[in-house]
Amino acid sequence: MRTVVCVISFIFSFVVLTYSQQEPLRIEGKAQGTTYHITYFDKKNRNFQPAIEKILKDFDKSVSTYLPTSIISRINSNEKNVVVDNYFITCFNKAKEVWKNTDGAFDPTVYPLVNVWGFGPGQKQKIEKPLIDSILQFVGFGLIELDGKRVIKKDPRVSLDFNAFAQGYSVDVVSRFLDSRGIASYIVEMGGEVYAKGKKPNGDNWTIGIEKPIDNSDSQNPLKAIAKLENLAIATSGNYRKFIIEDGIKYAHHLDPKTGYPAKNNLLSASVFADDCISSDANATGILVMGLEKATEFLKVHRELQVYLIYSDDSGNYQVFESPGLKAIISEAEE
């Protein structure tokens, strides 16, 4: 997800499959400032890594704010006559959809705020209320529109950041590539966002872990839960992986577009399950900004989403809100 990075730990169980003798193919690498891991079964034993690496590079050329020549960077710089591609259009339309559904809790135009807080490629600035208030004047997804393949801004200072769900979308892009090659059993992970297709040839589900939300920017946390996936995406957004400490106060990277400051609520992590990973990723960010109370009301309307939410109670203990439909696929991790 983004500069945001909400991590889901993979549990790899690569075993020799006794009845078919088919072994998984595994590829991994770096992309979008993070790592990826892909495992698939292919009787033709094809290596898809070169093709996938090209797909990911082309993806970055469209929506990476860390690439000055990308389409999104050129739009943010107000370069004239920029024509967007299908990657950008998909991201823009999904962002508009989730922005409306979450009543603005998810908003890619927070990019200038992301930079001043030090969570983006821009230079961190001293946070003062007048600065935040001045930036909020041009934050709001209603200030930007897509007309065909061209972006129209109502204020030239408006800037976009799709990093909150770009990794999720890249999971979908790679998954569609594997589908096109006839791969019926695979799992794709990009920076912790995951989509799993089918079952393993021995009939087992793909299995992933959801971490305990312990402040940790460098390494893997112990697992809180285990989920079995089949034709399902999951993305986790949390306040424990990317944050800053300033004057003794922790500021997480999830910014509330309405205040300009990091969201303050008792939600520690939001794992969202959906049919595609772009939806999982974008909604996980919006839910974390909303907080538990608003999120539960939101989920009553959006039943296409299922969630595993970890929050802190008044005593500081972990508590879980779990969609009923997940009880068949999620179990608590062993201590």
- pLDDT tens digits, residue range 292-315? 999 999 999 999 999 999 998 888
Q: Provide mean pLDDT across the span 96-119.
A: 92
Domains in the chain, number:
1
pLDDT of the residue at 73: 96
Does residue 44 register a pLDDT over 90? yes
Summarised one tens digit per residue, pLDDT across range 107-118 is: 999 999 988 887
Does residue 158 register a pLDDT over 80? yes
pLDDT of the residue at 240: 64
Does residue 74 register a pLDDT over 80? yes
Map the chain to HEC letters: CCCCCCCEEECCCCCCCCCCCCCCEEEEEEECCEEEEEEECCCCCCCCHHHHHHHHHHHHHHHCCCCCCCHHHHHHCCCCCCCCCHHHHHHHHHHHHHHHHCCCCCCHHHHHHHHHCCCCCCCCCCCCHHHHHHHHCCCCHHHEEEECCEEEECCCCCCCCCHHHHHHHHHHHHHHHHHHCCCCCEEEEECCEEEEECCCCCCCCEEEEEECCCCCCCCCCCEEEEEEECCEEEEEEECCCCEEEECCEEEECCECCCCCCECCCCEEEEEEEECCHHHHHHHHHHHHHHCHHHHHHHHHHCCCCEEEEEEECCCCCEEEEECHHHCCCEEECCC
143 inside domain: yes
What is the rounded distance in angstroms from the CA atom of residue 194 to the CA atom of residue 145?
Answer: 30
Predicted TM-score of the model (pTM): 0.88
> How many percent of the chain have pLDDT more than 90?
70
37 inside domain: no
pLDDT of the residue at 245: 58
pLDDT of the residue at 242: 57
69 inside domain: yes
Average pLDDT, the chain: 88
309 inside domain: no
229 inside domain: no
130 inside domain: yes
Start-to-end CA span in the chain (Å): 27
Distance of CA 71 to the CA centre of its chain: 20
Expressed as residue numbers, the domain containing 61 is 56-163
pLDDT of the residue at 96: 96
Summarised one tens digit per residue, pLDDT across range 249-267 is: 555 667 899 998 888 888 9
pLDDT of the residue at 134: 94
Comparing 5 with 223, which gets the higher pLDDT? 223
What six digits make up the tokens of 93?
Answer: 């339309």
191 inside domain: no
pLDDT of the residue at 11: 40
pLDDT of the residue at 12: 38
197 inside domain: no
Does residue 190 register a pLDDT over 90? yes
- Here the CATH number for the domain that contains residue 84 is 1.10.3980.10
